[in-house]
Structure 1
Amino acid sequence: MTVPSTADATEPEPGTEPAPRRRTFGLAAATALVMGNIIGGGIFALPATVAPYGGVSLLAFVVLSVGAVLLALLFGKLARRSPVTGGLYVYPRDAFGPFAGFLSAWSYWTMCWVSIAALAVAVVGYVDVLIPLHGDHTLEAVVALVALWLPAAANFAGTRWVGTVQVVSTVLKFVPLLLVATIGLFFIDTDNYGPFNATGDSVPGALAAAAALLLYSFLGVESAAVSAGEVRDPERNVGRASVLGTLASALVYILGIVAVFGLVPHDKLVDSGAPFADAVNTITGGTWGGTAIALVAVASITGCLNGWILMAAQMPYAAARDGLFPAPFAKVGKGGVPGFGVWAVAVLGTLLIALNYTAGPDTTFRVLVLITTFTGCVPYLLSAAAQLYWLAQGSRERIRPAGLTRDLIVAALSFAFSFWLIAGAGYAAVYQGVLFLFAGIPVYVWLRGRQRTAGSEV
């Protein structure tokens, strides 16, 4: 029996947007959304996290930059086919059916609220530079919760406000970060880099493990595709915003990580709670520079949270319109933001933050980052597979042989890149990520069962 559509006269058919509403993101805002979501806690918190791997982390950053650009090109192509909100949910759903779409949406949504919690935790180290918290876990938890709920409140004001905040916060953090990343190159001490491979494992193994952690700093490359329904002229602007935002972010990342590794001695960097602030203090020879960069870091991560909370609400919104997520996720407030989705990720993020400061802050952040690597790569993998499927099946549009070859290479390399990162996350992260993923199956079964029951009653 064919399952009836959940859409009624006022709801869209799958693959389309709801009744037209104004698209509020131009190319600049969409690019800022991508950059704002990529450049957040990653560059500020991860240099210390990957320092135990040694200089191989720098090579991992270069490899990740190339992979991120490939993903940006992939999402730009996919957005031409389906220029609607939901992106990484829509592509697998259209290619492989509702179950694949649900798995992608559930995995991405899980990645979002886990990532949001990790970002809020990353704020704490830089607030500690400004206002010493003296290792008080209660105060640290309060700071993380404030960092989470302030951007959540901003999201309730609407997508126009979110776009404005992204543009302003991206400019505020991009310019000083670029200045630090370039000026810092003149103060580098090569002795600070430490060993190339400090793990004792093989170089390929260390490279994959470092890349799995560092992927967290590139999550957000898909932001314009996920919010395509809010982007003007999405067939053109989603791809352009994705590539421009990723390239600009990669430039800042590579220069920044080279500067931090060369400015902070390796043994100190491993234990640093605010590595970028330590790097700036080395340049200035005092503490005022570190204080200034700590302010930038707090603004940066808060702005990043602002965009990620929107992403976390948009994905289940798209799935809920098809009946593949609980119905409350499909409700949109006056500002154009799915309010229930914002509440849901804020509450779940709060629970993870509470867990972080009761189970051990020194290890939980790393665990959260690796879980986001797995749950983030699942939709990347499925989206690349969807593009390969459509190319193998025959495109809706005629593509010249050279263009077809290019699209096949981008999709195949994106698939291989995502697979490699999942493998690099390690057994524990894959195990925990799979548990998160499979926890969604009963939700899918219940929703699909209700759809069939409703269809049989008609």
Structure 2
Amino acid sequence: MATVITPDTGHDTHPTPPSGSSGARKGEGADGGGRARRFGLPVATALVMGNIIGGGIFLLPASVAPYGTISLVAFAVLTAGALALALVFGRLAERHPRTGGPYVYAREAFGDFAGFLSAWSYWITAWVSNAALAVAAVGYLDVLLPLHGSVPATIAAALLVQWLPALANLAGTRYVGAVQVVATVLKFVPLLLVAVGGLFFFDADNLGPFQGSDSGAFGAVSASAAILLFSYLGVESAAVSAGEVRDPRRNVGRATVLGTLGAAALYLLGTVAVFGTVAHDRLVDSSAPFSDAVDAMFGGTWGGTAVACMAVVSVVGALNGWTLLSAQTPYAAARDGLFPRAFTRRRRGVPTFGVLVTVVLASLLTVYNYTAGSDGVFETLVLVTTFTATVPYLLSTAAQIYFLLSGRRDRVRGSRLVRDGVLSALAFGFSLWLVAGSGYAAVYQGVLFLFAGVLVYAWMSARRDRGVHEDREPRDAA
């Protein structure tokens, strides 16, 4: 088995490593085990695709149908922006092939506070998204199991969907990779069947109007894009887990681009196939658009059960990857003294404490969602995750622009400098558009989440500085 390379603890402006981290040598895990199986390109690509494509794809066609086929333009814009982000993350991973992704890039460029904001914001995105995915899975489980609206049974099913991937993570990266590959294969085969097979049953009369709203073309594109934003989160997956990827300088960028392209192709093909097989008036009110598409293609009512199985597998696979990512960023920040030291605990390549904290927080949020009985509150929190995800995106693209302009780490010249600069500017603009698409309420609540993190940063900084001061006192007294 290959050796896990843990993130470095030093920093240009803070050469003294945090207490407890200086003893970890390169090639050793923080848990002292030091050896774990690492991901290759196929598993890293599956991680990106599995995290981007969760349960949302099974609802997207109906969600954007009211805006008309102009929503396909939003798909194209989002895909272009996601690819720009993917390429930027690939370049950044070449510079800093370490676990933590956006956190590492922001801290290297702008210091501890920017790095903490990136890690804190990304962590919020991860565990709230996990709760959202679990709730989405329960809707499809209700087709397969006799839940019948029972609140206790529904909560139990949602918690089961979250804890099974968490247990796979706690077993080690070897099992995370195995679950990710199996889940990706199992969900892509049937989804491709619908996406490609639906083209043979395509009927242009089902498409409906090109623009289905009165908000104008730009407004319709922006409104439909706001719905689609959550479904494109995850392009940074391989970069966040760079420390667990074999040959990260080469494989992270490739996995990011390949995973994003694969997810985008399946999104577009699936949406077009459903648009062309289900009548527009029916699609607007559909709660299971892929089931309706299968029924229209092959007849019968077996489509609902088949699609429910696909959705559950898809969500479990996404939760498997997101659970790992939700622990990796606080792990990297904790190694630098910006998160509590408990987050550095690892077992078989997985930050176990981070996994447990994440799944507990997501579980509590899930229970709250069902007991409060307010879907609006939870939907707002999902939109908050779209905003909180853009904070590390903005900081990462800004870090790349800083590295290019300052010449740090390498000397990029000529056409590559221009190409990387244009990509970074496009990715930064795309990230700003994501903030605008989140809506005022989501941005407002997201900022409150960030400000809560400032208090945590103040606490951690005070503890670290106090420790440094106490270490110096005996020497000064002598």
Task: Tell me which interval the TM-score lies in, with the shorter structure as reference length.
Answer: over 0.9
1:66-105 alignment, distance < 5 Å = 66-105=80-119
Distance 1:264 1:432 in 2: 37
Aligned to 1:356: 369
Distance 2:199 2:376 in 1: 31
1:9 aligned partner, one-letter code: S
Distance 1:42 1:284 in 2: 23
More displaced, 4-13 or 25-34?
4-13
SS of the residue 1:85 aligns to:
coil
Distance 1:240 1:3 in 2: 32
Distance 2:354 2:165 in 1: 14
Distance 2:282 2:341 in 1: 50
Distance 1:192 1:119 in 2: 30
Does the aligned pair in 2 maintain the 1:121–1:365 contact within 8 Å? no
1:408 matched to 2:421? The reply is yes
Distance 1:264 1:428 in 2: 33
Distance 1:48 1:133 in 2: 24
For normalisation by structure 2, the TM-score amounts to: 0.90
Aligned to 2:17: 5
Distance 1:9 1:381 in 2: 31
Number of residues paired by the alignment?
455
Q: Select 1:235's aligned residue among 249, 254, 271.
A: 249
Q: Select 2:76's aligned residue among 46, 62, 85.
A: 62
Residue deviations 1:221-280, cap 9 Å, x none?
Answer: 111100000001000000000011111111111000111233333344344333222222
Aligned to 2:39: 25
Distance 1:180 1:211 in 2: 23
1:151 matched to 2:160? The reply is no
Shift in CA distance, 80/71, structure 1 to aligned 2, threshold 3 Å? same
More displaced, 269-278 or 54-63?
269-278
Distance 2:190 2:258 in 1: 19
1:380 matched to 2:393? The reply is yes
1:71-220 alignment, distance < 5 Å = 71-220=85-234
Distance 2:197 2:338 in 1: 50
Shift in CA distance, 360/262, structure 1 to aligned 2, threshold 3 Å? farther
Aligned to 1:280: 294
More displaced, 202-211 or 94-103?
202-211
Does the aligned pair in 2 maintain the 1:192–1:266 contact within 8 Å? yes
Does the aligned pair in 1 maintain the 2:60–2:271 contact within 8 Å? no
Shift in CA distance, 242/2, structure 1 to aligned 2, threshold 3 Å? closer
Structure of higher CA gyration radius: 2
Distance 2:332 2:29 in 1: 9
SS of the residue 2:206 aligns to:
helix
Aligned to 2:475: none
Shift in CA distance, 207/355, structure 1 to aligned 2, threshold 3 Å? farther
More displaced, 345-354 or 154-163?
345-354
More displaced, 363-372 or 2-11?
2-11
Aligned to 1:340: 353
Residue deviations 1:311-357, cap 9 Å, x none?
Answer: 00111000011111111111112x22111111111111112212322
Distance 1:339 1:2 in 2: 27
Residue deviations 1:185-211, cap 9 Å, x none?
Answer: 222333433333334223222322322
Shift of 1:286: 1.1
1:262 matched to 2:272? The reply is no
Aligned to 1:389: 402
Does the aligned pair in 1 maintain the 2:94–2:249 contact within 8 Å? yes
2:363 aligned partner, one-letter code: T
Shift of 1:17: 8.1
SS of the residue 2:44 aligns to:
helix
Does the aligned pair in 1 maintain the 2:36–2:349 contact within 8 Å? no
Shift in CA distance, 367/55, structure 1 to aligned 2, threshold 3 Å? farther
1:77 aligned partner, one-letter code: R
Shift in CA distance, 46/435, structure 1 to aligned 2, threshold 3 Å? farther
SS of the residue 1:170 aligns to:
helix
Distance 2:143 2:320 in 1: 22
Shift in CA distance, 164/385, structure 1 to aligned 2, threshold 3 Å? same
Distance 1:145 1:270 in 2: 31
Shift of 1:395: 4.2
Shift in CA distance, 126/358, structure 1 to aligned 2, threshold 3 Å? same
* Structure 1: gaps (5+ residues): none
Shift of 1:429: 1.0
Shift in CA distance, 121/268, structure 1 to aligned 2, threshold 3 Å? farther
Aligned to 1:456: 469
Does the aligned pair in 1 maintain the 2:74–2:221 contact within 8 Å? yes
Distance 1:272 1:124 in 2: 17
Shift of 1:3: 8.2
More displaced, 283-292 or 296-305?
283-292
For normalisation by structure 1, the TM-score amounts to: 0.94
Does the aligned pair in 1 maintain the 2:240–2:325 contact within 8 Å? yes
Shift in CA distance, 267/82, structure 1 to aligned 2, threshold 3 Å? same
Does the aligned pair in 1 maintain the 2:99–2:329 contact within 8 Å? yes
Shift in CA distance, 70/2, structure 1 to aligned 2, threshold 3 Å? closer
Distance 1:398 1:2 in 2: 24
Q: Select 1:305's aligned residue among 302, 319, 322.
A: 319
| Root mean square deviation of aligned Cα | 2.1
Shift of 1:365: 5.0
Identity of aligned residues (%): 63
Shift in CA distance, 271/341, structure 1 to aligned 2, threshold 3 Å? farther
1:389 aligned partner, one-letter code: Y
1:369 matched to 2:364? The reply is no
More displaced, 161-170 or 4-13?
4-13
